[in-house]
Amino acid sequence: MEKFQQSMYDLIVETSTKLPKDVRRAIARAKVRENAGTRAAMALDTIVENIQMADENVSPICQDTGLPTFKIKVPVGVNQIEMKKAIRAAIVEATKNGKLRPNSVDSLTGKNSGDNLGEGVPVIKFEQWENDYIDVRLILKGGGCENKNIQYSLPCELEGLGRAGRDLDGIRKCILHAVYQAQGQGCSAGFIGVGIGGDRSSGYELAKEQLFRPVDDVNPIEELRQLEEYIMENANKLGIGTMGFGGESTLLGCKIGVMHRIPASFFVSVAYNCWAFRRMGVKIDPATGEIIEWLYQDGEDVDFAKELEKAEAAAALEQGDTRVIDLVPPLSEEQVRQLRVGDVVRISGVIYTGRDAIHKYLMDHDAPVDLNGQIIYHCGPVMLKDEEGRWHAKAAGPTTSIREEPYQGDIMKKFGVRAVIGKGGMGAKTLQALKEHGGVYLNAIGGAAQYYADCIKSVEGVDLLEFGIPEAMWHLRVENFTAVVTMDSHGNSLHEDVEKSSLEKLAQFKEPVFK
Ligand code: SF4
């Protein structure tokens, strides 16, 4: 079992830090498709740089560990109880070493267990089979994309697409709608797994199962092969693009599975996965516990280092007509009102992290620091303390901002905050507050945890650590932290614009395609 535990540790580290070859190829294809000099192209360049940095530093690609989910097939007679113990021990070690963020919280109290263990965490599912080796697959799927999963009960009416009936064409409409409703909030460009049939829980299970298929495999069921191909061809026409910035690459993969259902129910379940598609697998020798083969290693690898040489993000920016503005907080209202949607900002100075727990707290309490003119960063970083007691950010990309919608505008006004950084954009209430108060929303590149960790030059302090590492307020000194203004103080929102135009484009898919 000792060797098996080491194998599981290796699997966790590899999954968290290195994207599989098939995913890399899909990202490389998206880069080719995207128009040079656009915000989407800049976002893709940052993503590529981040993948490269995670490879080199053996650090998490994205700070959001998600809910680690293991799918294991074992020959008859293998001791599953001991395997579970070994996996849990490997998870604890990987968390201690900063390869995973402590991500398991008590649902009622919000208390973080600190080691990624908890009731039902990690998810470990066993199945017996007749082969003589163990097959272990692991997926780390973060909250931003998990929250964009969606389930349809057919027949139903879909925004932009009309009625979706209980047939292949109705399924087609559901999948297109699933891509549309995700917008950039699940860190597009993404991958989707679709489950047709089952009940509400087995349908989702089937959808997630599809995410374990290689990106470039071919569906053995002819109708589904055609549907997968159709979706890949057409979903990118919605123009949502990387991070929802608008653009040519919205979807990187679509895998569809089917199972029986009962006559009364017809579910189409969609599991959305971000570009940081961290899933890996190994074959294990049951006698020794050693890895005998790594999965998802077929085909050509992509040399992202070379790709980066070709397209330097900054160079692309300078060539376009995008304004690049340096910001040093505290910011004045006048400075902020000069910013417009589409501007790129480079921040140097101290910024403060705050996500769900901090926003809830600030509604009823004073802030632990003076936030007047400051910038709040929606981020739950991976942090490690060194032997001298100094904190270091190991992964620090943005988290989904829309969760703070009920609080954000009020908090900006109450404390004089001038900017928030996050990803996926915010809603009408925040947009109104930005206008009244004089504030901006800055979209960082979701999942680019290594890229942003590199911008953090020191950790100057921390407040409210009792909320747990991801939820605490970290004071981060950053240099050249780059983000795009996507909501400004003049009532403009890129997110609103892209959502509106993609809804218009969705309507072109209203007519039946599959009879
Ligand atoms: S890339 Fe985005 S959606 Fe994916 S895990 Fe990271 S923050 Fe979440």
Mean pLDDT of 157-169: 97
Best residue among 23, 27, 44, 187 to mutate for probing ligand 1, ranked by most atoms within 8 Å of CB: 187
The burial class, CB within 10 Å (0-12 / 13-18 / 19+), for 264 is: exposed
Indicate whether residue 276 lines ligand 1 (CB < 6 A).
Answer: yes
Indicate whether residue 433 lines ligand 1 (CB < 6 A).
Answer: no
User: How do residues 392-432 score in pLDDT, each as one tens digit?
Assistant: 999 999 999 999 999 999 999 999 999 999 999 999 999 99
Considering only CA atoms, which residue is closest to atom 7 of ligand 1? Answer: 447
Considering only CA atoms, which residue is closest to atom 3 of ligand 1? Answer: 144
Mean pLDDT of 483-508: 97
User: How do residues 196-251 score in pLDDT, each as one tens digit?
Assistant: 999 999 999 999 999 999 999 999 999 999 999 999 999 999 999 999 999 999 99
Indicate whether residue 60 lines ligand 1 (CB < 6 A).
Answer: no
Pick the CATH number of 322-493 from 3.20.130.10, 3.40.50.300, 3.30.565.10, 3.40.50.2300: 3.20.130.10
Give me ligand 1 centre to Cα 146, in Å: 9
Evaluate if residue 316 carries a pLDDT over 80: no
User: How do residues 23-39 score in pLDDT, each as one tens digit?
Assistant: 999 999 998 888 888 88
What atom in ligand 1 is closest to the CA of residue 187? 2
**Which pTM value belongs to this model?**
0.92
Per-residue model confidence (pLDDT) at position 315: 53
Instruction: Quote the mean pLDDT of the chain.
Output: 95
Cα torsion 207, 208, 213, 218 to 10°: value is: 10
Evaluate if residue 21 carries a pLDDT over 60: yes
Give me ligand 1 centre to Cα 84, in Å: 27
Location of structure tokens 């809910």? 67
Of 315 and 489, the structure prediction assigns the larger pLDDT to 489
User: Domain locations in the chain?
Assistant: 1-141+277-316, 142-274, 322-493
CA dist 58 and 332 (Å) reads 39
Indicate whether residue 231 lines ligand 1 (CB < 6 A).
Answer: no
Angle at 405 (CA atoms; ends 402, 408), nearest 5 degrees: 120
Band (312; pLDDT cuts 50, 70, 90): low
Indicate whether residue 47 lines ligand 1 (CB < 6 A).
Answer: no
Give SS3 for 301: coil
Indicate whether residue 243 lines ligand 1 (CB < 6 A).
Answer: no
Per-residue model confidence (pLDDT) at position 338: 97
Evaluate if residue 302 carries a pLDDT over 90: no
Angle at 258 (CA atoms; ends 254, 264), nearest 5 degrees: 125
User: How do residues 439-448 score in pLDDT, each as one tens digit?
Assistant: 999 999 999 9
Per-residue model confidence (pLDDT) at position 39: 86
Mean pLDDT of 462-487: 96
CA dist 352 and 461 (Å) reads 10
Closest CA to 423 of 182, 101, 66: 182
Band (304; pLDDT cuts 50, 70, 90): confident
Question: In 186-284, where does DSSP find H-type helix?
Answer: 200-210, 222-234
Give me ligand 1 centre to Cα 62, in Å: 6
Give SS3 for 265: coil
Cα–Cα distances in angstroms (integers) from residue 213 to residues 14, 17, 150, 318, in the given order: 18, 20, 20, 40
Per-residue model confidence (pLDDT) at position 306: 73
Q: Work out whether the CA dihedral 244, 446, 271, 429 comes out positive or negative.
A: negative
Closest CA to 181 of 145, 230, 143: 145
Per-residue model confidence (pLDDT) at position 307: 67
User: How do residues 111-150 score in pLDDT, each as one tens digit?
Assistant: 999 999 999 999 999 999 999 999 999 999 999 999 999 9
First vs last C-alpha separation in the chain: 54
Q: Starting at the earlier edge strand, list the strands of the sheet with 150-153.
A: 150-153, 267-273, 190-196, 251-258
φ and ψ of 330, to 5 deg? -75, 145
Band (348; pLDDT cuts 50, 70, 90): very high
CA dist 493 and 341 (Å) reads 7
CB atoms within 10 A of CB 127: 9
CA dist 308 and 274 (Å) reads 21
CA dist 270 and 71 (Å) reads 19
Indicate whether residue 145 lines ligand 1 (CB < 6 A).
Answer: yes
Mean pLDDT of 347-362: 97
Band (309; pLDDT cuts 50, 70, 90): low
φ and ψ of 382, to 5 deg? -90, 120
Give SS3 for 426: coil
Best residue among 191, 274, 423 to mutate for probing ligand 1, ranked by most atoms within 8 Å of CB: 274
Evaluate if residue 282 carries a pLDDT over 60: yes
Band (305; pLDDT cuts 50, 70, 90): confident
Per-residue model confidence (pLDDT) at position 378: 98
Best residue among 62, 67, 356, 450 to mutate for probing ligand 1, ranked by most atoms within 8 Å of CB: 62
Concatenating the DSSP letter of every residue in 143-212 gives HHHHTT-EEEESSEEETTTEEE-SSHHHHHHHHHHHHHHHTTTT-SSEEEEEEESS-HHHHHHHHHHHTT
Give me ligand 1 centre to Cα 141, in Å: 7
The burial class, CB within 10 Å (0-12 / 13-18 / 19+), for 3 is: middle
Per-residue model confidence (pLDDT) at position 33: 86
Indicate whether residue 397 lines ligand 1 (CB < 6 A).
Answer: yes
